[in-house]
Copies of this chain bind each other. A is one copy, B any other.
Amino acid sequence: MKQLFSGKTKDVYELSDGNYLLEFKDDVTGKDGVFDPGANTVGLTIEGAGAAGLRLTQLFFEKLKEKNIPTHYIDANPEEATMTVVPATVFGQGLEVICRYRAVGSFLRRYGKYVEEGQSLDAFVEVTLKDDERQDPPISEDALDMLGILTKEEYSILKERTKGISLVVKEELAKKDVELYDIKLEFGRDKNNQIILIDEISGGNMRAYKDGKYIEPLDLEKLIVL
């Protein structure tokens, strides 16, 4: 099994059948030992964090499969913290697509002149470049098109799909009285050039609150996965 990539929170291997194996690590992003899903650095290592992230990911990807929303997911093995996926190429050098239901995080830091902290946002979608050096800058539809990263047609698909997937997650959390504030997704193109959801959907990709209190990723897993 050939290792293709070692990421901040995951390692990627190529399987003999051409599919990929993702191994979830116990590292979570954050700064100064405090978990922050928006951070670009690995802040701390928590035993079992990888397996917990995978259990949530598995739950959400299975839900998406039921709804025929295309993703890279094939199957998962929570005991080994691994997930099998179809290969996909990212847009440009990687994008993050964010769906926001409440104003927190970088949205609030940018637009605090116009919004209150925690204010409702109507499933607002925005795209940022994965670029640690430049603090993951937000990028517009026009700029994505001009720079050859994403066509306008692809942007439109991405936006609608992001809203659809985020709603699935939001509704799943709502069953446990947990409110989704925002979520960060990644997409890629499969071998047929179809746009599919890639990466994971776990506590580290979202901000979830219960009774107005932020839920840590590992606690979210315990709350949501029975």
Q: A residues within 8 Å of B by Cβ?
A: 92-93, 109-115, 121-122, 124-126, 129, 131, 133-134, 137-143, 146-147, 149
A109, B124: Cβ atoms closer than 8 Å: no
Cβ–Cβ contact A140 & B112, under 8 A: no
One complex includes copies of this chain to the number of 2
- Closest CB-CB distance, A160 to chain B, in whole Å? 13
A134 B121 Cβ-Cβ under 8 A: no
Docked CA distance A171–B147 (Å): 25
A142, B113: Cβ atoms under 8 Å? no
Q: Which 10 A-B pairs have the closest CB atoms?
A: A110-B137, A114-B147, A113-B131, A140-B140, A124-B146, A93-B113, A110-B134, A126-B140, A122-B146, A138-B138
Chain B min CB distance to A209 (Å): 21
Q: Are A92's CB and B114's CB within 8 A?
A: yes
When chains A and B are docked, how far (Å) is the Cα of A110 from the Cα of B115? 23
Q: Flag if B92 contacts A109 (CB, 8 Å).
A: no
How far in angstroms is the closest Cβ of chain B from A138? Answer: 6
Main secondary structure of the interface of A (DSSP, over half): mixed
Provide the bound-state CA to CA distance between A134 and B170, in Å.
30
CB-based contact A129/B111 at 8 Å: yes
Q: Cβ of B147 and Cβ of A134 under 8 Å apart?
A: no
A114: which of B122, B125, B126, B149 is its contact (CB, 8 Å)?
B149
Residues of B with C-beta under 8 A to A114: 92-93, 129, 147, 149
Bound: A126/B61 CA distance, A: 36
Question: Which chain B residues lie closer than 8 Å to A147 at the CB level?
Answer: 111, 114-115
- Cα–Cα, bound, A114→B92 (Å): 8
Give the residues in chain B near A115, CB-CB below 8 Å: 147
- The distance from the CB of A122 to the nearest CB of chain B, in whole angstroms, is 6
Smallest CB gap from A138: residue in B: B138
- How far apart sit A125 and B131, CA to CA, in the bound complex (Å)? 22
Task: Report if A142-B124 is in contact (Cβ < 8 Å); known contacts: A92-B114, A134-B110, A134-B113.
Answer: yes
Contact A134 B109 (CB under 8 A): yes
In the complex, what's the smallest C-beta–C-beta distance from A208 to chain B, in angstroms?
22
Q: Which residue of B lies closest to A148 (CB)?
A: B114
